[in-house]
């Protein structure tokens, strides 16, 4: 059974930093791509970043480029998202996601609309709240 468990969220002032962690289990870690998504109240879920764990390729949505960094540790089956220079508009529930097809997560991070049946193949964590105060 695929399991993704996020941690590291919290309340931080604007300009501050947080590091989110995603503990993955139940699948061959290096065969999958892992990503971070977020959903703010009243808004649709958006892709933030993803990493292809086999080769380290990373992708970011434009609004977080230069501020967020995704990384992975295959020895620990962990994926991290370092959040720096946080802004109030970064406030959201952040979800870890895993997909066998790295192109799927890349497309979602880029904002491309993908078929519903493809999105259904993504595995999700339970989310961790990030709140940035002004």
- The secondary structure of 41-102 as a DSSP string is TTS--EEEEEEETTTTEEEE-GGGTTTEEEEEETTTTEEEEEE-S--GGG-EEEEEEEES-H
What pLDDT does 116 receive?
87
Judged against a pLDDT cut of 90, whether residue 85 lies above it is answered with yes
What pLDDT does 28 receive?
86
Judged against a pLDDT cut of 90, whether residue 83 lies above it is answered with yes
Beta-bridge mates of residue 57: 52
pLDDT exceeding 90 applies to what percent of the chain? Answer: 84
pLDDT digits (tens, 9 = 90+) for 25-77: 998 888 899 999 999 999 999 999 999 988 899 999 999 999 999 999 999 99
pLDDT digits (tens, 9 = 90+) for 87-107: 999 999 999 999 999 899 999
What is the pLDDT confidence band of residue 108, given thresholds at 50, 70 and 90? Answer: very high
Judged against a pLDDT cut of 90, whether residue 86 lies above it is answered with yes
Q: Which residue, 84, 86, 93, is CA-closest to 124?
A: 93
The pLDDT of 2-20, averaged and rounded, is 97
What is the pLDDT confidence band of residue 117, given thresholds at 50, 70 and 90? Answer: confident
- Rounded distance between C-alpha atoms, residue 120 and residue 131, angstroms: 28
């Amino acid at each position: 059974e695929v399991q993704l468990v996020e941690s590291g969220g919290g309340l931080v002032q604007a300009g501050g930093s947080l590091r989110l962690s995603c503990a993955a289990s139940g699948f061959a870690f290096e065969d999958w791509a892992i990503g971070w998504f977020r959903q703010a109240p009243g808004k649709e879920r958006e892709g933030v970043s993803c990493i292809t764990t086999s080769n380290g390729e990373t992708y970011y949505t434009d609004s977080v480029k230069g501020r967020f960094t995704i990384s992975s540790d295959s020895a620990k089956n962990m994926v991290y998202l370092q959040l720096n220079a946080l802004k109030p508009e970064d406030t959201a529930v952040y979800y870890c996601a895993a997909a066998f097809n790295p192109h799927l997560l890349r497309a979602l991070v880029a904002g491309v609309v993908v078929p519903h049946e493809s999105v259904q193949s993504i595995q999700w964590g339970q989310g961790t709240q990030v709140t940035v105060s002004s």
